[in-house]
């Protein structure tokens, strides 16, 4: 296989581990903490997870091993969208498993959860695993979005697991994938199968975190990748001095990526969906604000700038959020009838006849292209696919119209020429930063210790992440601790609660304190490319979000 010089060197990088995981694997013991309960809806969650609810948080300490000495045959899957570092979770799991006993086996099931159902797998060997160390992507076994949520599926997975003698399954995924992990763990526990299930927190969106999970893996690398590109565009904007760049970044349900990129790059405007919702800002409130900033900079002779837009912004705008909610419910309730419609005109009429008057007015006022995007096929959760909604182009159109109206009234005399960008796939499979390489390897290594100690329904967690890896702490948290009830496909279901941007949190408060200056002045900063070799203060830095949250 032909590889690049960087990949060749990165294959030899040895990720750093927390001090506790550097010990002889046979000299690490479980330390139990307090019992847990779900973040809300405690009675309902407890009733749904009678065998795995209320378990204790755990950490590891140096002591005589509390692990089982049985042979471990572990299955692992990658689930959902790609995130930098996924390969290192698997290599960390593999190395710990083999360090405990060379007879232990790791099977990688291909294509995500469907691999467990279809029994498609590969047995990892040293030679195979060594090709993927510290590399981006999920191509080692592929990923998928099949949901493990029905008893029929669980029975198939149990049958496949017993066929291979699996002692445990590790699910590497986001909030929904780990919700499925918790449900699967409950099923196995209820049926006495003896098969453990462990989760690992993955998502570049950064919305899988809480008081124990400080960040999901991939967020660091993705944000640094996007920030490099945004910084490049900022330098170009300041050089050409003639374009406004509207840049949409990933983050379907939360604006963590947008906020982190703003902290890194200091654009003129960064919209935060959670703030829009909290302040109940309308679409026109947002458009008029952007127009005000454009006009203020034009008055200084600066007819250029950069606007960062979170992917999920449109769902935070109150009137549009209500509209989308109605459309989602309508398409779930009338799925058969709607699927028979063959033209947009038919779909438009069908929806308009069933929307409330307010939502109908909002929908009819949108450009036709946006209307079509709102009616596209739903995602696996039954929700609109916001990544396909070209919010950045919609904002450009609306700002242009407002500025033209102001110019006609003599209220604006600048020039507004705008370009749109969407940074999504560019960051999902990048070479993991040193932080993500170390963090992911530690998560995988730690996952094996959870398995060896007989735990199930737990998430692998590593904390203290703003410090160097040697100071990180390793442990586990029951997945049910993170759960609440949410509406999905018209039904209430238990899911891991998404972590949104906290408006009283330190990262947002810092951004809020600076943005008035950034709006008018050109304060761009240029993060540059991710660095892998050199001074630690350049190569091993964490995100600005994590540093601010932990006061570093």
Nearest 5 degrees, angle CA 232-CA 425-CA 269?
Answer: 45
26: closest CA among 448, 467, 506? 448
496: closest CA among 381, 364, 347, 346? 381
Length of the chain measured in residues: 552
Q: What CA–CA distances, in Å, run from 279 to 273, 274, 283, 285?
A: 10, 9, 12, 10
Find the catalytic residue in 176, 205, 207, 436: 205
Query: Is position 205 annotated as part of the catalytic site?
Result: yes
486: closest CA among 115, 177, 135, 40? 40
Angstrom distance (rounded) from CA 234 to CA 25: 48
Angstrom distance (rounded) from CA 391 to CA 320: 12
Number of CB atoms found within 10 A of residue 184's CB: 25
The helix/strand/coil state of 77 is strand
Enclosing H/E stretch for 168:
strand 168-173
The helix/strand/coil state of 241 is coil
- Per-residue burial over 343-358, b = 16 or more CB atoms within 10 Å of its CB, e = otherwise: eeeebbebbeebbeee
DSSP-H helix ranges across 375-468: 391-408, 434-452
- Crossing angle of helices 357-365 and 344-352, in 10° steps, is 150
62 phi and psi angles, rounded to 5 deg: -80, 115
Active site (catalytic) residues: 205
């Amino acid at each position: 296989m032909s590889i690049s010089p960087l990949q060749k060197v990165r294959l030899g990088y040895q990720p750093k581990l927390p001090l506790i995981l550097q010990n002889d694997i046979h000299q690490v013991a479980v330390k139990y903490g307090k019992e847990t309960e779900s973040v809300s809806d405690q009675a309902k969650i407890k009733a749904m997870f009678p065998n795995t609810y209320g378990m204790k948080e755990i950490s590891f300490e140096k002591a005589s091993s509390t692990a089982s000495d049985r042979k471990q045959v572990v299955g692992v899957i990658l689930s959902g969208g790609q995130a930098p570092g996924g390969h290192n979770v698997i290599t960390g799991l593999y190395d710990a498993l083999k360090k405990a006993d060379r007879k232990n086996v790791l099977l990688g099931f291909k294509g995500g959860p469907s691999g467990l159902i279809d029994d498609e797998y590969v047995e990892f060997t040293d030679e195979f695993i060594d090709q993927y160390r510290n590399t981006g992507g999920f191509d080692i076994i592929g990923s998928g979005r099949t949901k493990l949520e029905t008893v029929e599926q669980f029975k198939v997975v149990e049958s496949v697991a017993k066929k291979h003698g699996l002692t445990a399954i590790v699910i590497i995924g986001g909030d929904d994938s780990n919700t499925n992990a918790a449900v699967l763990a409950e099923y196995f526990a209820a049926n006495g199968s003896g098969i453990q299930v462990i989760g690992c927190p993955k998502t570049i969106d950064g919305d899988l975190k809480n008081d124990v999970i400080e960040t999901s893996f991939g967020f660091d690398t993705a944000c640094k990748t996007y920030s490099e590109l945004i910084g490049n565009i900022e330098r170009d904007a300041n050089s050409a001095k003639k374009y406004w760049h509207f840049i949409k970044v990933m983050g379907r349900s939360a604006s963590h990526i947008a906020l982190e990129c703003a902290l890194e790059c200091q654009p003129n405007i960064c919209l935060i969906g959670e703030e829009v919702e909290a302040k109940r800002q309308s679409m026109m409130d947002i458009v008029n604000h952007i127009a005000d900033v454009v006009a203020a900079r034009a008055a200084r002779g600066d007819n250029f700038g950069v606007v960062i837009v979170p992917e999920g912004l449109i769902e935070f705008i109150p009137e549009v959020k209500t509209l989308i909610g109605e459309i989602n419910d309508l398409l779930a309730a009338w799925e058969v009838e709607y699927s028979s419609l063959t033209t947009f005109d038919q779909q438009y009429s069908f929806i308009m006849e069933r929307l409330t008057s307010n939502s109908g007015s909002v929908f009819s006022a949108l450009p036709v292209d946006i209307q079509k995007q709102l009616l596209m096929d739903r995602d696996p959760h039954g929700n609109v696919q916001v990544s396909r909604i070209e919010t950045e182009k919609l904002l450009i159109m609306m700002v242009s119209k407002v500025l033209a109206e102001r110019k006609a009234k003599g209220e604006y005399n600048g020039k507004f020429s705008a370009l749109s960008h969407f940074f999504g796939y560019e960051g999902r499979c990048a070479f993991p930063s040193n932080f993500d390489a170390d963090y992911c390897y530690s998560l995988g290594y730690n996952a094996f210790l959870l398995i060896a100690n007989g735990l199930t329904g737990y998430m692998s967690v590593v904390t203290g992440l703003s410090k160097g890896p040697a100071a990180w702490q390793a442990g586990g948290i029951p997945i049910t601790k993170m759960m609440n009830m949410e509406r999905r496909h018209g039904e209430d279901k238990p899911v891991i609660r998404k972590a949104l941007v906290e408006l009283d949190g330190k990262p947002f408060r810092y951004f809020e304190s600076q943005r008035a200056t950034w709006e008018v002045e050109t304060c761009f900063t240029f993060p540059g490319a991710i660095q892998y070799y050199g001074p630690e203060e350049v190569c091993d830095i964490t995100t600005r979000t994590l540093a601010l949250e932990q006061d570093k």
